[in-house]
Amino acid sequence: MPALTREATSKTVQTSSYNLHYHEAGSGYPVIMTHGGGPGASGWGSNRWVFDAFAAKHRTILIDLPGFGGSQPIAPMEPRDLMNAKAIVELMDALDIPKAHLVGGPMGASIIRFAVEYGDRLNKLVMANPAGGGVSIFKPQPSEGGKAERAFYLNPTRETARWFLELYVCDRALVTDEVIDDRYQDIVGHPQHIENFMKGATNTGARLNNPVALLDQVKAKTLLVWGRDDRSVPLDHALLFLWKLPDAQLHVFGECGHWPQYEKADEFSNLVLKFLA
């Protein structure tokens, strides 16, 4: 288990638009880490396995985006990518961070939107298994992971939580009772997030914009990290991102699914920290 604790690093801030929760530790050049869009996702839940390693070298911030974790419940009326990009830059303003590295989770559209709209606030960019690549030639669509996430939103039980978490990893033995309980408590502890997510899913005004159309506008040096065995965002999407981004490199972990920050925590930390350095 990580040495840094959830309670000791937990903070909140009111920005001009949102009440945001985040975790912070370490000193040095700032790194902001985001999370995915699955049920119960949060900055801590997605990244706690690498938090210690990053905080040893950087001022590291794990943000809960609006509608996730401890941040403000919200039923988005605008595209989530725009809302999330704005939340990140407003958090930076509130914490007096002029520029940072960004390590993004699977909500690819939000990370790409931030990189394009607020490129002057971004140094280097890391994207881990970002969604948004469209049709796959490797896997049927919608993906197994995507269907499991939606099944949970429609029927939020501990068993459906186990189902989608087992689809996040290559080695299902990693989905222990502790991991399931931790994620499930984040879910049942914030029931408004479930309700609001479903409202956003049916609101055409809140639909994500197409991130692929923006990839060639990303100016930041970018590292793509993928799990070869991802059953939510298949590997051929990585090739599309690599082809479209102007300055990118790709690292693929074998025997790894949708959650490299957990399944390959040490390797992920070493790889990304070397890239950021």
Look up residue 268 and give its two tokens.
């992920």
Catalytic positions are: 258
How confident is the model over 83-132, as pLDDT tens digits?
Answer: 999 999 999 999 999 999 999 999 999 999 999 999 999 999 999 999 88
101: left (phi over 0), alpha (psi -120 to 50) or beta: beta
Q: Look at residue 76 and tell me if it is in a domain.
A: yes
What 8-state DSSP symbol labels residue 191? H
In the chain, the amino acid numbered 177 is: D
How confident is the model over 213-231, as pLDDT tens digits?
Answer: 899 999 999 999 999 999 9
Q: Look at residue 179 and tell me if it is in a domain.
A: yes
pLDDT for residue 135 is more than 80? no
Q: Look at residue 119 and tell me if it is in a domain.
A: yes
**Which 3 state secondary structure label does DSSP give 190?**
coil
Q: How many CA atoms lie within 13 A of 31 on its CB side?
A: 30
In whole angstroms, give the CA distance from residue 275 to residue 45.
Answer: 23
> H or E element: which one contains 18?
none
Question: 73: domain range?
Answer: 6-276
What pLDDT shows up at residue 204? 56
Q: Look at residue 212 and tell me if it is in a domain.
A: yes
Q: How many CA atoms lie within 13 A of 20 on its CB side?
A: 29
Number of domains the chain contains: 1
Express as a percent the part of the chain with pLDDT over 70.
96
Region 30-35: mean pLDDT is 98
Work out whether strand 122-128 and strand 30-33 pair parallel, antiparallel, or are unpaired. unpaired
Query: Band of the pLDDT at 208, cuts 50, 70, 90?
Result: low
Query: Band of the pLDDT at 210, cuts 50, 70, 90?
Result: confident
How confident is the model over 144-164, as pLDDT tens digits?
Answer: 888 888 888 888 889 989 998
pLDDT for residue 1 is more than 50? no
Total length of the chain: 277
Q: Look at residue 1 and tell me if it is in a domain.
A: no
Look up residue 48 and give its two tokens.
């706690």
In whole angstroms, give the CA distance from residue 257 to residue 238.
Answer: 13
The answer to whether 40 touches 184, Cβ cutoff 8 Å, is: yes
CA angle 217, 81, 215 (to 5 degrees): 20
Q: Domain with 198 in it: what CATH number?
A: 3.40.50.1820
pLDDT for residue 199 is more than 80? no
How confident is the model over 14-28, as pLDDT tens digits?
Answer: 999 999 999 999 999
How confident is the model over 47-64, as pLDDT tens digits?
Answer: 999 999 999 999 999 999
